[in-house]
Structure 1
Amino acid sequence: MEFTVGQLAGLLEGKAEGDDTQKVNRLDKIQEGKPGGISFLANEKYEPYLYETEATAVIVSEDFVAARPFKTTLIRVKDAYLGFTKLLEAYAQLSKSMLAGVEDPCFIHPTSSIGENHYRGAFSYIGKNSRLGNNVKIHPQAYIGDNVSIGNNCIIHSGARICADTVIGNNCEIFPGAVIGADGFGFAPQADGTYKAIPQIGNVILEDNVSIGSNTTVDCATMGSTIIRKGAKIDNQVQIAHNVIIGENTVIAAQAGISGSTEIGKNCVIAGKAGIVGHLKIADNTTIGANTGVSKSIKKSGETHLGYMSMDIKDFLKSYAYFKNLDQLEKRVKELEKKG
């Protein structure tokens, strides 16, 4: 893909300063910029690279004032970081939309259908009675089981597994190695000490604009549905158990685990390695810090919780002030006991 500097300035609603007829075909770091590349300058500590870079163009904020001469063409925008982010988004979207057609070998069952402008990579598999929308991209070695529904503009990356009966909305992205709809962890203890598997007959529903990271697992419900509401973003290596509900626009970072039948509210932030036990309710706008263990419901909206087991952040910080001074407190107690 190749564009002129002027075209990119128009896309970013900015103004080119220099030769806007030059062509750009690559995104570069400013310190590694070469001819044909475009970069950005948003952090002042990288400013020295502006005077050395060979990049064809550099995006800067409109109020930037150069300290000395430079060779590159500038694109001035309101916010350089946001401008470059917009460019990255456009580049990624164009790259994805260019994929089309069917590679061999791949398989789709005769009872299934897929919409217009789709892509199916080599060794991908689509089972019986599945319905896929328009502009769906199925990358090599992805698996889609029976009775699956996938909306428009979805991307299923290589090695992802979409198990039977899963429902996926529009504009969703499932990254490599994710497993959606495998059996939940359900076993009934027996009198002889063994465990008997409980059939998991429910499904998973991902609403619109959901992202599921690499090697994340979302288990199907025992009965009913495990539900990820619209706009939720799930990082890599997250475990979401059976019958969990994740609220709208909630984000969950890597290695967090949500146990069965817990309901997470909307606009929550769950940091890495947090663990939430089953059958709880977490209020809207809750933040749960890294490595935090949550063992009881959080009922008040907008709280931040830390610690193991978790407590409100104000209580945790007060307690921590005592934790780190325990050795001094012990010495004082012993001295008082001697005096007594």
Structure 2
Amino acid sequence: MKRTLAEIANLINGKLCGDYDENLVITGATGIALAGPSEITFAVDPHLEEAIACNAAAVIIQEDVDGFSKTCIKVKNPREAFNILLNIFKPELKVEKVISSKAHIGKNVKIGEDVAIMDFAYIDDNAIIGDNVEIYPNVYIGQYASVDENTILHSGVSVREYCKVGKNVIIHDNTVIGADGFGFITKDGKHTKVPQVGNVVIEDDVEIGCNAGIDRATTGSTVIGKGTKVDNLVHIGHNCVLGENCLVVAQTGLAGSTIVGHNVTFAGQVGSKGHIKVGSNSVMAARTGLIADVPENSFYAGFPARPHQEWLRIKANESRLPDMMKKLKLMEKRLKALEEKNN
């Protein structure tokens, strides 16, 4: 895919500035350090000086930047503009919309139009596959499971029995949707399995990374809300419900029945105990340990989790603890001396 500089400016609603040739052909979009003379990049503070010296044909910058001495396109949001270009210039993968003779298709399976099912995929009995679905090698779709239109399941994904995957979903390699939840009754030192008879519902426009595990509910459904994005190596326990447009970063683990509102961000390695609620529009900093409910519009950090500003004050004082202990011991010594003197 190629575009002229003028076409690119039009696509991203930007204004060309500097010494430019609007007919210059642009062949790609990449980072500042990698960009060549036929490519475009973007820059925001503190990388503007670096961008001026780079080899790119042009740089996308914020519209209020002055004194930029290189050919540029000024826009309201450089990151959003660059994202548009990445979608234009990304390499197109050719996927043949056929059902491989090496795939297993069970009884009473319903398959829509323009579906790709690749080698060694296993579609079990009574599963439903919507239009334009892409199923890569070694994918397993269980009995009575459904995958809605325009969804992509990469190699090694398992969508277990009765689970439902919505439209425009992307699930990356080796993720498991609908393994049994971790439910046991312990009696006399022995653990007896609690049947996990619910399912998992993945709503529309969700993306899930590699090697994630989303467990089926004991009863009812574990739900991942519309537009939510889940990173690699995330565990979501049985009966969790995540609202719409959440971000769940790598190595986060949510224990069973954690209820999450809309637009919540879990940074890396966040952990939650089960049966708590996290309010909408909240952010959990990396390695936050949640042991109680979190109100809406909160920014929490630390273990146990607490408001971020409070956590910062605590961390700032931690480095002072050795000196504070010395002073405390000295005060105790002086106090003891005064008490002995008075006695």
| TM-score, scaled relative to structure 1 | 0.85
Q: CA deviation at 1:301?
A: 1.6
Equivalent in the alignment of 1:310: 305
What does 1:65-80 correspond to in 2, within 5 Å? Answer: 75-80=73-78
Contact 1:30 1:50 in 2 (8 A): no
Aligned match of 2:235 in 235, 239, 248?
239
Q: Distance in 2 between matches of 1:203 and 1:293?
A: 27
Question: What amino acid maps onto 1:39 in structure 2?
Answer: T
What does 1:44-123 correspond to in 2, within 5 Å? Answer: 45=47, 47=49, 50=52, 53=55, 55=56, 58-61=59-62, 75-92=73-90, 95=92, 99-102=95-98, 104=100, 105-123=102-120
Equivalent in the alignment of 1:207: 203
Change (3 A) 1:120 1:8: farther
Equivalent in the alignment of 2:318: 323
Q: Distance in 2 between matches of 1:19 and 1:290?
A: 46
Question: What amino acid maps onto 2:304 in structure 1?
Answer: M
Question: What amino acid maps onto 2:175 in structure 1?
Answer: A
Question: What amino acid maps onto 1:112 in structure 2?
Answer: V
Q: Distance in 1 between matches of 2:258 and 2:231?
A: 18
Question: What amino acid maps onto 1:86 in structure 2?
Answer: I
Aligned match of 1:336 in 308, 331, 335?
331
Equivalent in the alignment of 2:286: 290
Q: Distance in 2 between matches of 1:285 and 1:61?
A: 27
| TM-score, scaled relative to structure 2 | 0.85
Change (3 A) 1:315 1:29: closer
Q: Distance in 2 between matches of 1:9 and 1:120?
A: 39
CA RMSD, Structure 1 to Structure 2 (Å): 2.8
1:229 aligns with 2:231: no
Change (3 A) 1:50 1:304: closer
Paired residue secondary structure (1:32):
coil
Q: CA deviation at 1:16?
A: 5.5
Q: CA deviation at 1:65?
A: 6.1
Change (3 A) 1:134 1:103: closer
Alignment gaps of 5+ in structure 2: 336-343
Change (3 A) 1:261 1:118: same
Equivalent in the alignment of 2:215: 219
Change (3 A) 1:230 1:274: same
Aligned match of 1:272 in 268, 292, 299?
268
Question: What amino acid maps onto 1:332 in structure 2?
Answer: K
Paired residue secondary structure (1:335):
helix
Question: What amino acid maps onto 2:323 in structure 1?
Answer: Q
Q: Distance in 2 between matches of 1:215 and 1:15?
A: 43
Q: Distance in 2 between matches of 1:244 and 1:50?
A: 48
Contact 2:198 2:218 in 1 (8 A): yes
Query: What is the percentage of aligned positions where both structures have the same residue?
Result: 35
Equivalent in the alignment of 2:40: 38
Alignment gaps of 5+ in structure 1: none
Change (3 A) 1:129 1:57: farther
